[in-house]
Amino acid sequence: MPFLINITTPVLCPHGGTAHLLPNPRVLLSGAPMAAPNPAPIVGCAMPPAFPVAGPAGPAKVMAGAAHRFQMVRPPAPMVGCVLATFVTNAVRIRSNGLPVPLASSVVLTSPGNQPMTIMPNLPRVKGL
């Protein structure tokens, strides 16, 4: 059985960002509020968020080619940083405020990108299923 997590548990994105877990104030684990399974903002991701570009593929640049031919060159698609952490799986049998409780074994994905995040459990006291 995996451990329950509170808001002090580090949840890291693949680029080093940290999710600021939202509290569930009705339950305290080691003196800190238990983490709620709501989407949490990610701070400190090494990949900056993309800025909106004009049109679906961005502005096109006209480059002069060989023999005075013109070709359209589009800038590369912007890389998008991690903005939001979303809990995909949670406890099956434990609920708080009608929501399933997040565990140390929960699957957390970044948004956008759907990359898995790493939960580093720091609370080896309360186990759940």
Separation between Cα atoms, residue 83 and residue 49, nearest integer Å = 7
Mean pLDDT of all residues in the chain? 79
**Residue 125's pLDDT is what?**
67
Percent of the chain with pLDDT over 90: 36
3-state secondary structure 25-53: EEEEECCEEEECCCCEEEECCCCCCCCCC
Residue 108 in contact with residue 76, Cβ under 8 Å?
no
pTM: predicted TM-score of the whole model, two decimal places: 0.71
Q: What is the DSSP string of 57-125?
A: T---EEEE-GGG-EEEEPPPPPP----EEEE----SS-EETTEEPPBTT--EEEETT-PBPEE----TT
74/20: higher pLDDT: 20
**Residue 3's pLDDT is what?**
86
Separation between Cα atoms, residue 83 and residue 36, nearest integer Å = 17
The yes-or-no verdict on residue 66 having pLDDT over 90 is no
**Residue 26's pLDDT is what?**
87
111/51: higher pLDDT: 111
**pLDDT tens, position by position, 11-41:** 999 988 999 999 988 888 888 899 999 999 9
The neighbouring-strand residues paired with 35 are 23
**Residue 119's pLDDT is what?**
92
**Residue 3 corresponds to which tokens in the numbers above?**
């451990």
